């Protein structure tokens, strides 16, 4: 595809665009008009949706273009969004400039609905079907959500009684050595995911390299996420000793063989085992994802399983983050980048 400009199909298109009404059947007219009505409703202006009020609730203290703090109010856009002008670079901007909402063409209400669906373990295919949107739009929105959630687990610190255990996830066939799966649960053809949770409801799920966990990778994965002096409940994985030594943890270790077959009421690792179950179900729902984007999917999983519990509260938290995280991902840029990566 090198040298060719990629164009995503328009979500507003129908098979009868450009065909005179007189040449269409009543059923074709009804379907075409219904599709256009839904599309037009979803693409209302900020003024019509009330999104301008939402955007204007966020102040800006510096220019998102050049970073200068020498800015001044500069009226409003035609859609009602507040506008500033930078005295350093001379460019104007709105509260949405430099965020994933820059040049947004869909109402925030639809974005909130999409997030609630994503927080409910729904696959991209299911969301696309339910919302009658183009699959390209759904993938783009998920990429925007991933961009907003980047680093969302950086501040997670588990304390009190902390349970940890690793879950192995297979690489895609194209990424395996020789194209075949390696032998054994801890082969280098499996992604190691470090999973942890504490007794207050906080949890962690981060990538920890390939194959069996080493001490250095164990420290990199867990070291910044467990409070000093906590009680570490775990199996007798040798690499965990680095956490106990460096963080002054109280170690409560069990042989894996002794835990097999125990029900949740008697299993001392029941909480982290439940996290493994949820992670397995989550990965199954999104089985077609690219393995090099597993960090993005784990960040989404973290938002799903961590407080707050209500999906609407999660949506509000992420929406606020979206307005404060300086990252933009225009539709055309995303798909041209995706197309070039496939060359």
Q: Which CATH number goes with the domain that contains 201?
A: 3.30.420.10
**Of 97, 114, 129, which one is at a domain's C-terminal end?**
97
Is 42 a domain residue?
A: yes
Whether residues 176 and 276 fall in one domain? yes
Per the structure block, which two tokens stand in for 328?
Answer: 């933009």
Measure the CA–CA gap between 341 and 17, rounded to whole angstroms. Answer: 32
Whether residues 226 and 103 fall in one domain? no
Is 4 a domain residue?
A: no
Is 17 a domain residue?
A: no
- Burial 221-230, CB ≥16 within 10 A → b, else e: bbeebbeeeb
3-state helix, strand, coil in the chain (%, to 5): 45, 15, 40
Whether residues 171 and 301 fall in one domain? yes
CA atoms within 13 A on the CB side of 274: 14
Is 1 a domain residue?
A: no
Domain count, the chain: 3
Whether residues 167 and 285 fall in one domain? yes
User: Residue 290's pLDDT band (boundaries 50, 70, 90)?
Assistant: confident
Is 301 a domain residue?
A: yes
Whether residues 206 and 259 fall in one domain? yes
Whether residues 91 and 123 fall in one domain? no
Q: Reply yes or no on whether the pLDDT at 193 is more than 80.
A: yes
The residue with tokens 């990778």 is 217
Whether residues 263 and 202 fall in one domain? yes
Is 13 a domain residue?
A: no
Query: Which of 115-124, 183-192, 232-241 ranks highest by mean pLDDT?
Result: 232-241
**Of 97, 122, 140, which one is at a domain's C-terminal end?**
97
**Of 51, 74, 97, which one is at a domain's C-terminal end?**
97
Whether residues 53 and 178 fall in one domain? no
pTM for this entry: 0.81
Which has the closest alpha carbon to 243: 264, 222, 262, 274? 222
Q: What is the pLDDT of residue 134?
A: 73
Q: Reply yes or no on whether the pLDDT at 241 is more than 60.
A: yes
Measure the CA–CA gap between 231 and 226, rounded to whole angstroms. Answer: 10
Q: Containing domain of residue 52, as a range?
A: 23-97
**pLDDT for 99-123, tens place per residue?**
988 876 667 888 888 999 999 888 8
Whether residues 145 and 59 fall in one domain? no
CB atoms near residue 166 (< 10 Å): 25
Q: Reply yes or no on whether the pLDDT at 333 is more than 80.
A: no
Q: What is the pLDDT of residue 179?
A: 47
**pLDDT for 297-307, tens place per residue?**
999 999 999 99
**In the β-sheet with 250-254, what is the strand arrangement from edge to edge?**
203-210, 190-198, 161-170, 231-235, 250-254
H helices present in the chain, as ranges: 26-42, 46-49, 51-56, 108-118, 124-131, 135-149, 215-222, 241-247, 256-259, 270-285, 294-305, 311-324, 331-341
Whether residues 291 and 165 fall in one domain? yes
Mean of pLDDT over the chain: 86
For strands 231-235 and 161-170, give the pairing: parallel
Whether residues 278 and 337 fall in one domain? no
Q: What is the pLDDT of residue 45?
A: 55
Q: Residue range 17-24: average pLDDT?
A: 91
Is 14 a domain residue?
A: no
Whether residues 281 and 176 fall in one domain? yes
Q: Residue range 145-151: average pLDDT?
A: 94
């Amino acid at each position: 595809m090198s040298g060719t400009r990629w164009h995503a199909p328009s979500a507003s298109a129908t098979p009868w665009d450009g065909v005179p009404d007189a040449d269409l059947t009543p059923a074709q007219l009804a379907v075409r008009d219904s599709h256009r009505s839904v599309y037009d409703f979803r693409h209302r202006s900020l003024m019509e949706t009330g999104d301008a009020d939402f955007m204007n609730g966020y102040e800006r203290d510096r220019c998102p273009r050049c970073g200068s703090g020498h800015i001044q109010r500069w009226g409003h856009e035609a859609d009602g969004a507040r506008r500033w002008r930078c005295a350093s670079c001379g460019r104007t901007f709105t509260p949405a400039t430099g965020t994933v909402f820059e040049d947004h063409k869909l109402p925030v209400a639809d974005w909130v609905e999409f997030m609630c669906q994503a927080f409910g373990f729904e696959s991209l295919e299911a969301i696309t079907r339910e919302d009658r949107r183009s699959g390209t739009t759904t993938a783009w929105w998920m990429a925007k959500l991933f961009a907003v959630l980047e680093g969302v687990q950086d501040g997670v610190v588990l304390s009190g009684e902390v349970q940890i255990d690793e879950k192995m996830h297979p690489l895609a066939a194209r990424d395996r050595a020789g194209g075949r799966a390696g032998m054994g649960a801890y082969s280098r053809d499996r992604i190691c995911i470090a999973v942890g949770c504490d007794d207050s409801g906080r949890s962690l799920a981060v990538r920890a390299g390939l194959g069996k966990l080493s001490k250095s990778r164990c420290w990199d994965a867990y070291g910044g996420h467990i409070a000093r002096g906590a009680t570490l409940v775990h199996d007798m994985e040798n690499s965990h000793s680095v956490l106990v030594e460096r963080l002054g943890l109280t170690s409560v270790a069990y042989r894996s063989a002794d835990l097999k077959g125990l029900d949740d009421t008697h299993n001392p690792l029941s909480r982290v085992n439940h996290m493994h179950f949820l992670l397995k179900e989550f990965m199954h729902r999104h089985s077609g994802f690219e393995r090099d984007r597993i960090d993005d999917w784990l960040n989404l999983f973290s938002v799903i399983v961590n407080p707050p519990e209500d999906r609407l509260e999660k949506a509000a938290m992420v929406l606020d983050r979206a307005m404060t995280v300086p990252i933009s991902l225009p539709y055309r840029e995303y798909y041209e980048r995706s197309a070039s990566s496939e060359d």
